[in-house]
Amino acid sequence: MILNDKEWLETFRKKRDLYGVTQLRLSVMAGISREHLSRIESGKVSLTLEMKEKLAAALEKFNPDEPLFLLFDYVRIRFPTLDIKHIIKDILKLNIEYMLHDDWAYFSYTEQYYIGDVFVYTSDDEEKGTLLELKGKGCRQMESYLLAQERSWYDFLMDCLVDGGIMKRLDLAINDRTGMLNIPELIEKCKNEECISVFRHFRFYASGEISHQRERNHKEMGTTMYIGSMKSEVYFCIYEKNYEQYVKAGVPLEDAPVKNRFEIRLKNERAYYAVRDLLTYYDAERTAFSIINRYVRFVDKEENKPVSEWKLNEKWAWFIGEGRPPLKLTTKPEPYTLNKTLRWISRQVDPTLLMLEEIAKKTGVNYLREIRKYTKLTEKHEQIIRQQTTTIEEIVLKEERNEENVGIF
Max avg pLDDT among 2-11, 39-48, 259-268, 336-345 = 259-268
pLDDT band at 400 (very low <50, low <70, confident <90, very high): low
Which pLDDT belongs to residue 4?
Answer: 67
Residue 333: the pLDDT is: 83
For the CA atoms of the chain, what is the radius of gyration? 26
Q: How confident is the model at residue 396 (pLDDT cuts 50, 70, 90)?
A: very high
CA atoms of 296 and 228, how far apart (whole Å): 10
User: pLDDT above 90 covers what percent of the chain?
Assistant: 56
Mean pLDDT (the chain, rounded): 87
For 132-136, 340-344, 366-370, 371-375, which range has the lowest pLDDT when averaged over its residues? 340-344
Res 409 pLDDT > 60: no
Average pLDDT over residues 115-124: 96
C-alpha 208: how far from chain center? 19
- Nearest C-alpha neighbor of 196 from the set 285, 291, 300: 300
| pLDDT tens readout for residues 347-386 | 889 999 999 999 999 999 999 988 998 899 999 999 999 9
Of the ranges 28-32, 223-227, 275-279, which is most confident? 275-279
With cut-offs at 50, 70 and 90, classify the pLDDT of residue 286.
Answer: very high
Query: Is residue 194's pLDDT more than 70?
Result: yes
Question: Would the pLDDT of 144 be above 80?
Answer: yes
Phi/psi of residue 349, each to 5°?
-100, -45
Going from the C-alpha of 361 to that of each of 151, 365, 371, the distances in angstroms are 55, 8, 17
pLDDT at 210: 36
Q: In the chain, which residues fall in CATH 1.10.260.40?
A: 3-60
C-alpha dihedral (226, 118, 400, 83), degrees to nearest 10: -110
What band does 3 get if pLDDT is binned at 50, 70 and 90? very low
- For residues 167 and 358, the answer to whether their CB atoms sit within 8 Å is no
> Is 404 a residue whose pLDDT tops 90?
no
> Spelled out in words, what is the top-level CATH class assigned to the domain 3-60?
mainly alpha
Is residue 115 helix, strand or coil?
Answer: strand
- Average of per-residue pLDDT across 290-318: 93
Kindly report the backbone phi and psi dihedral angles of residue 240, in degrees, each rounded to the nearest multiple of 5, phi listed first.
-85, 95
The pLDDT of residue 213 is above 50: no
Highest mean predicted confidence (pLDDT) among 29-38, 202-211, 274-283: 274-283
Give the C-alpha separation, 272 to 278, whole Å: 10
pLDDT exceeds cutoff 80 at 253: no
256 residue type, one letter: A
Q: Are 314 and 28 in contact (CB under 8 A)?
A: yes
DSSP label at residue 198: S
pLDDT at 1 over 60: no
Averaged pLDDT for residues 311-327 = 89
Calculate mean pLDDT across residues 383-402. Answer: 83
